[in-house]
Amino acid sequence: MQRIVSGMRPTGKLHLGHYLGVIDNWVKLQDNFDCYFFVADWHALTTKYDKTENLKQDILDVTMDWLACGVDPNKATIYVQSQIPEIAELHLYLSMITPQNWVERDPTLKDMAKILKSKEGMASQINYGLMGYPVLMTADILMFNANFVPVGIDQVAHVELTRDIARRFNNLYNCNFFNEPQPKLNNCSLICGLDGNKMGKSFNNDIKISDTDEVTSKKIMSAITDRSRLRKDDPGHPNECEVAFKYWNIFGDEKDIEKIKFECENGLRGCADCKRQLGLKINNHMAEIREKRKYYENNQEIVKQILNDGATKARNEAKSILKEIRSIIKMY
């Protein structure tokens, strides 16, 4: 079976953008590929090395969201990156063969550096570890000799670098050990935020997977609609309804959408009512997932057990691959 590796940094509770754009994709992939899904806690340290107080809980929160959305530990291997020390050793070997200018031209890293530089204080320096970000990501992927890597568009350059490093390793050590893994695009812009911009935790425009029905409904009431519409019997323009109608297109069925379009265009439907119904629709869609999320929240020892089992499994595979790598490099 072909293999997939993908990871997410432990950013805490995930939102609907993660669910629809990434996790739902993983859930489909786990039936047809040998999937390795992990929480990238070392990657979190590249910029947040001084903010670790919530790290453990953030890791559990991300994992609980995955499990609630249907990532299945009986199908996929789920683990925490730092539980697999073999990745750190592979990172070291790969760092030896990666030319410095390959990491320096990495566009995502350049962006991160720019953002850091614009901030005041301690975190504004770029540490050695951050420079290694794309090489560490390469180690994550090559550790399990992946064939495909599901990522967002912003991460594609990293996977390109992974391919370059894999090729260089094979050339330098005269072998054909590593696959050149290919990116598989996630659709991260599937759902926008409540304000019409990209949905993101730091933009305060997201709906969390784990939000309650009440919170969700309240947030939906703040979603942008057709801005030109002043009264509820004005004819509306669903296609210019920047957020609410877009959400209907995601969560509604064909009949809902047709009805709303007709009523909106003919001034028969007020935006407040429309959004009240939309809130119910989304809560209905999320009900099972949220129930599962609650179950894991109340049984976090089960979540930890799943991560430990996943780490054991991943580590066995990593150990055997690392053994071959050491022998190819001719380490002692």
Residues of this chain that interact with ligand TRP (CB under 6 A) are 5-9, 40, 43, 137, 140-141, 149, 151, 155
Please name the residue that has the structure tokens 């598989």: 184
- 271 near ligand SF4 (CB under 6 A): yes
Strand, helix or coil at 201?
helix
Q: How far apart are the C-alpha atoms of 211 and 193, rounded to whole Å?
A: 15
Decide the pairing of beta strands 34-39 and 3-8: parallel
Binding piece for ligand SF4, criterion CB under 6 A, among 38-46, 144-152, 269-277, 301-309: 269-277
- 194 near ligand SF4 (CB under 6 A): no
Q: Smaller CB distance to ligand TRP: residue 7 or 193?
A: 7
CB of 238 to ligand SF4, least distance (A): 5
CB of 12 to ligand TRP, least distance (A): 14
Q: Smaller CB distance to ligand TRP: residue 43 or 269?
A: 43
- Which among 135, 131, 128 has a CA at the least distance from the CA of 89? 135
Q: Smaller CB distance to ligand SF4: residue 188 or 241?
A: 241
Q: Smaller CB distance to ligand TRP: residue 64 or 149?
A: 149
- 274 near ligand SF4 (CB under 6 A): yes
CB of 330 to ligand TRP, least distance (A): 27
Q: How far, in Å, are 215, 247, 256, 272, 313 from residue 233 at the CA level?
A: 28, 22, 19, 12, 60
Contact 270, 232 (CB under 8 A): yes
- Which among 169, 168, 160 has a CA at the least distance from the CA of 134? 160
Q: How far apart are the C-alpha atoms of 2 and 271, rounded to whole Å?
A: 48
Q: Smaller CB distance to ligand TRP: residue 146 or 278?
A: 146
Q: In the structure encoding, which two tokens stand for residue 251, read together?
A: 């969560």
Find the binder of ligand SF4 among 38, 148, 178, 245 (CB under 6 A). 245
List of residues 6+ apart from 234 with CB closer than 8 A: 267
Q: Residue 71: which of ligand SF4, ligand TRP, none does it interact with, CB under 5 to 8 A by kind?
A: none
CB of 141 to ligand TRP, least distance (A): 5
Q: Residue 40: which of ligand SF4, ligand TRP, none does it interact with, CB under 5 to 8 A by kind?
A: ligand TRP
- 260 near ligand SF4 (CB under 6 A): yes
Length of the chain: 332
- 13 near ligand SF4 (CB under 6 A): no
Q: In the structure encoding, which two tokens stand for residue 229, read together?
A: 């519409």
Q: Smaller CB distance to ligand SF4: residue 13 or 219?
A: 219
List of residues 6+ apart from 74 with CB closer than 8 A: none
Q: Residue 141: which of ligand TRP, ligand SF4, none does it interact with, CB under 5 to 8 A by kind?
A: ligand TRP
CB of 17 to ligand TRP, least distance (A): 12
Residue type, 256: D
| Cα 198–chain centre separation | 14
Q: Smaller CB distance to ligand TRP: residue 5 or 209?
A: 5
DSSP secondary structure letter of residue 19:
I
Q: How far apart are the C-alpha atoms of 99 and 104, rounded to whole Å?
A: 9
CB of 213 to ligand TRP, least distance (A): 29
CB of 305 to ligand TRP, least distance (A): 24
**E runs forming strands in the chain:** 3-8, 34-39, 77-80, 148-151, 182-185
Q: Residue 59: which of ligand TRP, ligand SF4, none does it interact with, CB under 5 to 8 A by kind?
A: none
Contact 116, 50 (CB under 8 A): no
Q: Which residues bind ligand SF4 (CB under 6 A)?
A: 225-226, 229, 236, 238, 241, 244-245, 260, 264, 269, 271, 274-275
